[in-house]
Amino acid sequence: MNRKYQRMSTTSHAKCGAPGFTLLELLVTIAIMVVTLMIGVPAFRETIQNSRQSTQANEWTTDISLARSEAIKRGAPVTLCKRNSAGNGCDNAADWVSGWVVFADDNGNGVVDADEQILRLHGPLTGLSSLHYPQSRITYAANGFAAGYSGTMTFCDSRGADKARGLVLSNTGRLRAANSSDTLTCL
């Protein structure tokens, strides 16, 4: 009787359905997850790169707008220049990726003098392979114009010129997003 009871117990337990997954179900689930991740991760990476590029272009736009509005408000020149390694002045030989400085350039010489106020220091940018602008500085006159400093700021990352983002500064001091007719070059 004991054996009959054991056999019946094992049989009835299997018929009720044991909780858990079979090995086949587990393998199929893992395979589906792997395929989903293989498709999703590269797309997510590009989303992150696009977001980083947009953020950095917006930071540039904010500081350009600050320089222009401060020049008009103060009635005196305000300059945005490539930041030096100490972070307290301009360095024409530096790269824009290293950051920039916005300062009240009272004498209009493009150099941070001891008596001139630094309005904003922007630190180095991360994730960009290059940030190209044809000028080493931009000086806004008291009327808000940036005469002689026009050009296209190009934000490039590892994806190259096809995915570059650009901002175009006119001599009147107006900034706009680059469009398809603007040439964006990555160095």
Look up the domain containing 116 and give its range. 23-177
Predicted pLDDT of residue 25: 87
Closest listed residue to residue 109, CA positions, set 62, 76, 64, 150: 76
Residue 95 phi, psi dihedral angles, 5° rounding:
-100, 145
163 within some domain? yes
Q: Are 100 and 81 in contact (CB under 8 A)?
A: yes
Q: What is the three-class DSSP state of 15?
A: helix
120 within some domain? yes
Please tell me the distance from the alpha carbon of residue 139 to that of residue 136, in angstroms, as a whole number: 10
17 within some domain? no
Read off the CATH number of the domain in which 84 is found.
3.55.40.10
Number of Cβ within 10 Å of residue 144's Cβ equals 17
Predicted pLDDT of residue 3: 55
For residues 125 and 14, the model is more confident at: 125
3 within some domain? no
Please tell me the distance from the alpha carbon of residue 86 to that of residue 1, in angstroms, as a whole number: 91
Predicted pLDDT of residue 156: 87
Q: Are 157 and 129 in contact (CB under 8 A)?
A: yes
Total domain count, the chain: 1
10 within some domain? no
Closest listed residue to residue 107, CA positions, set 141, 83, 134: 141
7 within some domain? no
Q: How many CA atoms lie within 13 A of 5 on its CB side?
A: 2
Sign of torsion, CA 11 17 21 24? positive
pLDDT digits (tens, 9 = 90+) for 97-106: 999 999 999 9
pLDDT digits (tens, 9 = 90+) for 40-83: 777 788 888 888 888 889 999 999 999 999 999 999 999 999 99
142 within some domain? yes
187 within some domain? no
